[in-house]
Chain A
């Protein structure tokens, strides 16, 4: 057992505050983080690379700066880690692949640059599903990411290392990317908080793409307030990203926990509450009841043809990556893992008309959700219909002892924000009988991240799921 040094149990906000007031040194934080990684990553496989020398050198410099009263920003001296499809200057950006194993980045991705300017110290790059095209983080090149709550279970993906490293207290916050659910899935599975931003809110510049029309980047953290702090740093317009939006950035850290009275929570009977493992159903039902007890009201909404979202998601998420990978798939097919190679080959053979019908469906789904937001303030549903499966599983049993395909099951709820471009926050809301975390998904209005952080903070003020940590 590797005991967690007390300093690693601090929240990101607490760690940053202690650095500012001089009660903790960035060197102490980085040393604790690196020691934790060294102790645990042999079994978790959360990291692809660890920047021990650079992180230590930067921590010493930041310690001196803090002593001199020079604080770079709200993350000064705090160890973070980034998914390995996000460029960090001078280091490889592998995207979890063999193909990009030696691809040294010449500049930071915009999100990395903003974190660095805010004072963050990068301790390494995180493992992931190869090229982010899958939800298990069973990576044939860098090892399968294991779940810190039970290392025989999967950590989700594609940002599996981002979820596992955070839950295992290896650092204070991580960045992931989310196309079809790749931040929210590992957040739910590992018992942490993660947000998929409104499409265009956070720059994708310097990030290896999966599916351009749905790709986003966002933070994972231990609670909603930490997540809001990281989001504050990375959100905002970037002229280098053609999809970046110029909409003004809110003060996400001005959190309120008094907003539940009168909050209108949208639920979709027959979809949000159907086809779930029982512990998931019960945990989300309890959370909704708790919101009602705190003054919120549930509003039933009907979204026509919502069940078609999974097919639309698969069609788009298959077609766009196969376009990006077209040359490598012809020249280096043997360098892909079997599952990703297969998905890329399938995606090459889907007709353009099917892709465009899926893109037309997105318009209808988005229109219907925007109309529904005249009646509700937020939608709440499970993040996933199931909890962590055994490592290596490609199917999952949700009901009636019937195995079904993992990819479609993953996308049942996470696909809705991906298709509509709406922001979505995954919060821990319980555990199953085996002690595995359960997450719920809050879906907000476009650029409504602040409301999601407020609701999350209000919920976490009266629950303790987010304060629990795995025994490692």
Chain B
């Protein structure tokens, strides 16, 4: 199971936008990342996670390139905070 938007494997690749070269994500990278966030991953788990993470990072890096474009400079994520009238009290 690759769990990606295509069937690429986790070897070094150029993203869809063609703008950024993505370094390959190795098992050592995955192990280091997991250690950094306190997620215990055995070598067996690292081997399972590595190819999927490599594909997903490459795909999301392509999205990153898209969203770095000048045309999108002012775009705000959908996670902005909104106050409702009931939150506002007497203001």
Contacts and interface: CB of A to CB of B under 8 A. Distances in A.
Interface of A: 213, 239, 246, 305, 308, 310-312, 314-315, 318, 329-330, 333, 339, 342-343, 345-346, 348-350, 353-354, 356-364, 366, 394-395, 402-408, 421
Contact of B84 (A246, A310, A394, A407): A246
A342 B56 contact: no
B72 A315 contact: no
B67 A360 contact: yes
Contacts of A358: 60, 63
Contacts of A406: 1
Contacts of A342: 3, 48-49, 52
Contact of B49 (A311, A345, A366): A345
Given A330-B38, A357-B67, A310 B76 contact: no
B42 to A, nearest CB: 10
Nearest to B77: A359
Contact of A305 (B56, B66, B84): B66
B2 interface: yes
Assign chain B's interface to a size class: 35 or more
A404 B1 CA distance: 9
**Leading 7 A-B pairs by shortest Cβ distance:** A359-B77, A311-B59, A354-B60, A394-B1, A408-B5, A357-B67, A310-B5
Contact of A357 (B30, B34, B64, B84): B64
Given A357-B67, A358-B60, A346 B78 contact: no
A310 B3 CA distance: 11
27 contacts: A312-B60, A312-B63, A315-B56, A315-B63, A318-B56, A330-B39, A330-B40, A342-B49, A342-B52, A343-B3, A345-B39, A345-B45, A345-B49, A346-B52, A346-B53, A358-B63, A359-B77, A359-B79, A360-B72, A361-B67, A362-B78, A363-B75, A364-B72, A395-B1, A405-B1, A405-B3, A407-B3
Contacts of A395: 1
A360 B63 CA distance: 10
Nearest to A349: B33
B7 A405 contact: yes
Contacts of A333: 40
